[in-house]
Amino acid sequence: MKKKQLRIICPNGHLGFAPTKEESFWIGAETKPDYYCCDSGSDDIGPGPLGNDTSVSPYEWQKHDLELMLVASRKQGVPMMIGSSGDTGTNSRVDMYVEMIRDLANKHHLPPFKLIYFYSELDKAHLRRKMEQGITIEGLDDRKNLTLEELEQTDRIVAMAGVHPFIKALEMGADVIIGGRSSDAAIFAAAAIYEGFPESHSYYLGKVLECASFCAEPYMAKESVIGTITHEDVKVTAMHPNQHCTVASVAGHAMYERSNPFYEYFAGGTLDMTNCKYEQYDEKTARITGQVFIPTQGKIKVKLEGSGKIGERYLGIVGIRDPYSIRNIDKVIEWARSQVEERFSGKEYQLFYNIYGKNGVMGDLEPVKEIKSHELCVIVEGVAPTKGMAEEVTLIGSRQIFYARLPEVKGTAGTAAFVIDGVLSAPPAYQWTMNHVIPVDDPMELFKVYETTVK
Amino acid sequence: MKTKKLVELAKTIRSKNAGTDKITFDIIFREKENYDLMKKSKVLTKQTIAKLFNIPEERISDFVEFDPAFAIKFTIYRKQPSGSPGETDVFGCQQYPPLLDIEIPVEQ
């Protein structure tokens, strides 16, 4: 029989990135939602974690958040669905989350359950063959189509799963789904579509739930919200005692982190929110109608994220208090740069100065040109092919601020204050080499699904 | 003409990454009157945004008036993808402050 409504809880906008707040989670869990869903990734964290295959979220926080969801969902016997495991959704992160689930099941003596996990990582050679067959990897956000050269510069690629692998896993009878890189909204949409609800409301449900309490007010992160879908509408309710989902907060959330508030793109179609109607349903709940889903005409396109290594990296921290040096900071930096260039002329390296107190946060976008601070902090970033060279580039670039040759400087015993006399090893520097889409014949072709029983 | 600063009129003024290649700015008003005032003033346009941040207009990818949320939204292309070497704001969330002091005419 077709369900009249479905309720999904989202405890966290990015599982593990900061721990889920427990009070509102348990308030939500007590209402017995039909699904427990959460995304655990973001491209906000920069290209380093994907390239380097690491997490930025601490292991203990990730496990804490999984534990809450696993214990609550297994107690009720309803599905739990996780996308973008471990911040990046690479295979190693999926494996890590699968192990965490096994550990937690053991810890809580849970009865056996079916765990389905899928990988989103894409082999470079596979993509090269596709490109050699003449398939265009189309650039997003004004990027050009992918070249073989750019592919070569890429170290790791993930494909962004839409609803398809999640629906497949539910069809296989999953109790727990651990996903590779996924579109956050698709996790929730998949549950609703699988349960027979219209695509329009299902995708909107995902769109509004994916950041948890960010769709409520006042501003509080990591609190649970519950979305309710029917065949006619979507409703979203804040679980924290002091939070409310209002017309303003929910409409405002539609535009969060997107360049356009009217359209949201998925592998398989576009959610059109142009004619969305927002109403206050009750004190804590907003109701949304009018959303439309437009399926893709022709081949489905799957988004790809790729990260490529630029080099090894060190950071230097330099304080400046001398007013004459502050007034002439550009000359000071020019001197330090010249000393690095003198040592490494013709070699491949990159050197950056973030000058806090001048334009350290906004760089070229900073409209305030006059330095008003009595002290400056300069972060020196040196990138080079080897660790040794990166360290030396950064060390010269930092220490030569101390030796800057300004004609009228009074402090001739050094014009830089160091926290430590040295530079700090930083994670290697990476760059987003791919923000593209690939056309596919079958939306499952880039995702491998595996099944196991956790005993 | 009497003016008020945007920070006094708007409920939310924020910036954030929109994917790896863009930063998006949201200005959200609590009251429709203030939203209408802002829209009517034409103080914020692609031209004035370009001037404020000292960028060519081509770097502004979207400029949208979003009535359901009483919000004005614009998006700019980053010079480099987020988190590239030389990054100063990996989340893009501290690029809005120049908007706070924009003066909006409040009376004719």
Give A20-63 as a DSSP string: PPHHHHHHHHHT--SEEEEEEE-GGG-SHHHHHT--SS-HHHHH
How far away is chain A from the Cα of B72, in angstroms, using its nearest Cα? 10
Q: Binning pLDDT at 50, 70 and 90, where does residue A204 land?
A: very high
Q: Which pLDDT score is estimated for A318?
A: 97
Which residue from B28, B73, B98 is facing A367, i.e. has the nearest CB? B98
Which residue in A361, A356, A343 sits closest to A399, CA to CA? A343
Cβ-defined contact of B22 to A141 (cutoff 8 Å)? yes
Residue A66 burial (CB count, 10 A): 25
**Which token pair is A140?**
């997003």
Phi/psi of residue A242, nearest 5 degrees = -100, 5
Contact check, Cβ <8 Å, B19/A140: yes
Q: Which residue of B has its CA nearest to A313?
A: B85
CB–CB of B82 and A48 under 8 A? Answer: no
- For residue A344, what are the contacts with CB-CB under 8 A and spacing of at least 6? A384, A389, A392, A393
Chain B contact for A248 (CB, 8 A cutoff)? yes
- Tell which of A160, A258, A288, A337 to mutate to test the B interface (max B CBs under 10 Å): A258
pLDDT interval class at A1 (50, 70, 90):
low
Question: What is the predicted pLDDT for the residue at A150?
Answer: 96
Proportion of chain A above pLDDT 70, given as a percent = 100
Q: Which residues of B fall within a CB distance of 8 Å from A247?
A: 68
Q: Is the pLDDT of residue A98 over 90?
A: yes
pLDDT exceeding 90 applies to what percent of chain A? 95
CB A355 within 8 A of CB A326: no
pLDDT of residue B1: 82
Q: Do A43 and B77 touch (CB under 8 A)?
A: no
Which of B59, B78, B84, B101 is the mutation pick for testing A, counting most A CBs within 10 A? B84
Cα(A306)–Cα(B47) distance, integer angstroms? 34
Contacts of B83 in chain A (CB under 8 A): 45-48, 430-432
Supply the pLDDT for residue A358. Answer: 97
In angstroms, rounded to a whole number, what is the distance separating the alpha carbons of residues B98 and B100? 6
Can you point out the beta strands (E) in A133-203? 138-139, 156-159, 176-178
- Helix H segments across A214-347? 247-254, 323-327, 329-344
Per the prediction, chain A carries an average pLDDT of 96
Mean pLDDT score, A318-333: 95
Please tell me if residue A218 touches chain B, with a CB cutoff of 8 Å.
Answer: no
Which of the four pLDDT bands, split at 50, 70 and 90, describes residue B86? very high
Please state, in angstroms and rounded to a whole number, the distance separating the CA atoms of residues A193 and A171. 12
Give per-residue pLDDT as tens, A215-251.
Answer: 999 999 999 999 999 999 999 999 999 999 999 999 9
pLDDT at B107 over 80: no
- B21 and A256 in contact by Cβ < 8 A? no
| Residue B54 to residue A140, Cβ atoms within 8 A | no
B89/chain A closest Cα distance in angstroms: 6
Instruction: Convert the pLDDT of each residue in A412-447 to its tens digit.
Output: 888 899 999 899 999 999 999 999 999 999 999 999
> Nearest-CA distance from A145 to chain B in Å?
15
Per-residue pLDDT for B108 more than 60? no
Is any Cβ of chain B less than 8 angstroms from the Cβ of A256?
yes
Quick one: tokens of A210? 């994916």
What's the pLDDT score for residue A410? 79
Cross-chain residue pair A354–B88, CB shorter than 8 Å: yes
User: Do B84 and A431 count as a contact with CB atoms less than 8 A apart?
Assistant: yes
Q: Tell whether omega for the bond before A218 is within 30 degrees of 0, i.e. cis.
A: yes
Shortest CB distance from B18 goes to which of A254, A257, A364? A257
Band the pLDDT of A257: cuts 50, 70, 90.
confident
Tens of pLDDT, residues A143-170: 999 999 999 999 999 999 999 999 999 9
Q: β-strands A113-119, A176-178: how paired?
A: parallel
Instruction: Report the residue from A352, A361, A432 with minimal CB separation from B82.
Output: A432
Q: How many residues does chain A have?
A: 455
Check CB contact under 8 Å for A365 and B85: no
By Cβ distance, the residue of B71, B84, B94 closest to A252 is B71
More confident residue, A257 or A341: A341
Q: Whole-angstrom Cα distance, residue A260 to residue B66?
A: 9
What chain A residue is nearest to B74 in terms of C-alpha separation?
A259
- Bridge partners (DSSP) of residue A138 are A437
Chain A residues with beta carbon closer than 8 angstroms to that of B22: 141, 259
Q: Given A261, A350, A352, which is nearest B64 (Cβ)?
A: A261
Does the beta carbon of A142 lie under 8 angstroms from any beta carbon of chain B? yes
In this prediction, residue A254 has a pLDDT band, given cuts at 50, 70 and 90, of confident
Q: What pLDDT, on the 0 to 100 scale, is given for residue A2?
A: 81
Chain A (353-412) residues lying within 8 Å, Cβ to Cβ, of chain B: 354, 360-368, 381, 383
Greater pLDDT, A2 or A385: A385
Task: Render pLDDT for A371-419 as a digit per residue (tens, 0 to 9).
Answer: 999 999 999 999 999 999 999 999 999 999 999 888 888 778 888 999 9
> Are B16 and B94 in contact, with CB atoms under 8 Å apart?
no
- Mean pLDDT along residues A87-93: 98
Q: Which of A352, A366, A430 sits opposite B86 (nearest CB)?
A: A352
Chain B residue set in contact with A, beta carbons under 8 Å: 11-12, 16-22, 24, 26, 28, 30, 52-55, 61-62, 64, 66, 68-71, 73, 75, 77, 79-91, 94-95, 97-98
